[in-house]
Amino acid sequence: MANRLVTGQAVLSVAMTVVLLAFGAPASATASEGSSATPAGDRLGESELGELLDPIVAAGAPGAAVRLDFGARVQTAAAGQADLRGNRPMRPELNYRAGSLTKPMVATVVLQLVGEGRLALTDTVDRWLPGILPYGDRVTVRHLLTMTSGVPEYLRGRIAIDTFGLTPARLRTWTPRELVALITDQPPTFAAGTGFEYSNTNYVLAGMIVEAVTGNRLGWELTRRIFRPLGMRDTRFPVHHPAIAGRHAHGYSLPVDPQGSIGAGPLRDVTVLDPSFAWASGNVTSDLADLTRFLGALLAGRLLPPALLAEMTTPVDTGDPDASYGMGLEFIHTPCGTVVGHSGSIAGFHTIVLADEDGHRRFALMTNQYLHGPATAQAFNQAALALMRDLLPDTCSSAVAGRSLMARR
């Protein structure tokens, strides 16, 4: 029976949910399911890292790749295919669409502008984008970055179905203002500052504010402020370029019919699309090395002064005691400590990048399939769980292995 397309890239209820559910499973149940997850406190070796990926491919994903970066210790592994038609193996260094990993990058640029005195977190949307929202005088930059604005999600319905389906509409060019216009006739989900809801529209507006403040294209500001200083040579903000530059993996999806129902297969190649539909909410292409480098540099204080990094990493209440959101960053809270990062889902690709709180230990895990079935999601969950445990202190071994950490409500 077909499932309905879940739209909006609601990270806390998509990628993070699967990790939280895996963490919340009793240890005995995890073992009985034949999980390859490494016991908490054990550090993954080269062979174990590769073995984490095999169940993802066995469950139906074309391929998967992982990078684990603990400073002096860097490990990578890959499994399956980067291109099913060309029978080309997946490799950890291939470029791909990183989806919502764009958000912490955009948030970083906004906060840099705050540090330069060119922008304030208390500035309203109307201050920089007059008239774009009927209630723009009540929504601030802080609300946008923390997903507490109440601005509805634009990435629903027809635009989402066209993006994941093999239709000519996948090549449509969108402007940011057109994306926001999709929701301007809707009331806010809640009064700004009174709730939390993951909405990609927040980051489209944030990107537009960057352009209004600087007078430059968002991609240029990302390049000169983040990509170039960090040596992220494989990271780009392509906007209207349907192909992925450089050596890259192809992205695949289960079929989606015109009504938004997800079929059972075969997989469809959705690599070529105009990513302008995602723009500041998910337009970036990158690779695993660049993504882990960015997260490490950000948390180490190389991109923001301490006061602004503290603002970025102060989470807001999401209604879930085990998961919270900062400014473009997701947090998972466990008895063994907090891990921080972001996940990204876009047509053809699914990624999660996490680190310990100071960014010394970090990993990136990707698969070149989205949308995917339950078996693939479960295998991805188990791999993410094992990697997440590897971020936590060795002293937490018994606590992680012996109890249910995160029961979702």
Q: How far apart are CA 383 and CA 365, in angstroms?
A: 8
H runs (alpha helix) in 119-277: 125-128, 141-145, 158-164, 176-181, 201-214, 218-222
CA–CA distances in Å: residue 138 to residues 149, 151, 199, 318: 9, 11, 17, 20
The sign of the dihedral angle between the CA atoms of 302, 74, 64, 37 is: negative
The per-residue DSSP string of 158-201 comes to HHHHHHHTTSGGGG----HHHHHHTTTTSPPSS-TTS-----TH
The catalytic residue among 35, 36, 47, 100 is 100
**Residue 387: count of CB within 10 angstroms of its CB:** 26
Question: 118 CB contacts (<8 Å, ≥6 apart)?
Answer: 213, 214
Q: How far apart are CA 407 and CA 164, in angstroms?
A: 31
Q: For residue 353, which of 98, 107, 75, 77 has the smallest C-alpha distance? A: 98
Retrieve residue 265's tokens: 């297969």
Q: What is the DSSP letter of 95?
A: B
Q: How far apart are CA 272 and CA 166, in angstroms?
A: 10
The sign of the dihedral angle between the CA atoms of 299, 300, 301, 303 is: negative
Q: Is 100 a catalytic residue?
A: yes
**Residue 60: count of CB within 10 angstroms of its CB:** 19
Retrieve residue 289's tokens: 């090395």
Number of H helices, E strands in the chain: 14, 15
Active site (catalytic) residues: 100
